[in-house]
Amino acid sequence: MNNTKSLVFEELSVEDIGDNHFYTGINTPMKADAFVMSDADKKKKIEFHFRQIMETLGLDLNDDSLRGTPERVAKMYVDEIFSGLNPDAKPKIALFNNTYKYNQMLVEKNITFYSNCEHHFVPIFGKAHVAYISAGKVIGLSKLNRIVDYFARRPQVQERLTMQIARELQSILETESVAVLIDAKHLCVSSRGIKDSGSATVTSFYGGQFESPECKAEFLKYLGLQTTFND
């Protein structure tokens, strides 16, 4: 982080930083010893602390409906909604030679994803649209969905999620020509704070050939989005 950005952060409150979706880099912030503890031990620790949170809120954990909630939350955090933090959960990707010489863009649109805001730990959900132009290799279509899902299953900000998906595809496919567009709703906006349930957030990444106005316009046309580019 450069000194200018550091000064900006120092002038903002924790709440300001969260509401303005600042993020510190493309990599998810992780401790060096993040994977020393086993998943089983993580679940036990999360269960204990979540029980404390519920009791602090005044909930009666002797109630049949609430008794198992700390354990359920712990399993959900580790095995499901934050499983993308674990490198072992990264999808195994097989590449194939582009033997049919298809040299136009391939678009996989309307990939449904669910994530969680790293500032308030409430859901982010929406659609991801990804595209690439082969430089000699192609990828199975379902793997595009799996890559989106993997990076979504961690505490996120939408800007970072967009970049992580794009950079991963560029690395795997060995091409700069990758585009990613994400259209999502944030419950940290609609259920708290300003409580605006009608707004959505759009982020995008364009690399290689997608940086040209013509290629970008073609991609957006496939998504049914408006563009100011004229032929």
Q: Quick count: other Cβ atoms within 10 Å of Cβ 55? A: 12
Residues 221 and 181 sit within 8 Å (Cβ to Cβ): no
* Domain that includes residue 47, residue range: 3-89
Residues 209 and 133 sit within 8 Å (Cβ to Cβ): yes
Residues 6 or more apart from 184 whose CB is under 8 A from it?
A: 113, 115, 124, 125, 126, 127, 158, 200, 201, 202
Q: Quick count: other Cβ atoms within 10 Å of Cβ 131? A: 23
Instruction: Mark whether 77 and 99 lie in a shared domain.
Output: no
Residue 230 lies in a domain: no
Residues 70 and 43 sit within 8 Å (Cβ to Cβ): no
CATH of the domain at 24: 1.10.286.10
Instruction: Mark whether 205 and 149 lie in a shared domain.
Output: yes
Instruction: Mark whether 153 and 193 lie in a shared domain.
Output: yes
Instruction: Mark whether 210 and 136 lie in a shared domain.
Output: yes
Instruction: Mark whether 160 and 133 lie in a shared domain.
Output: yes
CA distance 32 to 77: 20
Residues 6 or more apart from 196 whose CB is under 8 A from it?
A: 189, 190
**Amino acid type, 187:** L
Instruction: Mark whether 67 and 152 lie in a shared domain.
Output: no
* Alpha helices in 57-157, H assignment, sequence order: 69-75, 141-152
CATH of the domain at 204: 3.30.1130.10
Residues 6 or more apart from 205 whose CB is under 8 A from it?
A: 162, 163, 165, 166, 178, 179, 180, 181
- Residues designated catalytic: 117-120, 158, 186, 188
Name the pTM for this structure. Answer: 0.88
Residues 6 or more apart from 226 whose CB is under 8 A from it?
A: 220
Burial (0-12, 13-18, 19+ Cβ within 10 Å), 7: exposed
Decide which of 60, 89, 118 is a domain's last residue: 89
- pLDDT by position in tens, the chain (length 231): 444 444 444 555 556 555 555 556 899 999 999 999 999 999 999 999 999 999 999 999 999 999 999 999 999 999 999 999 999 999 999 999 999 899 999 999 999 999 999 999 999 999 999 999 999 999 999 999 999 999 999 999 999 999 999 999 999 999 999 999 999 999 988 788 788 888 899 999 999 999 999 999 999 999 998 655 444
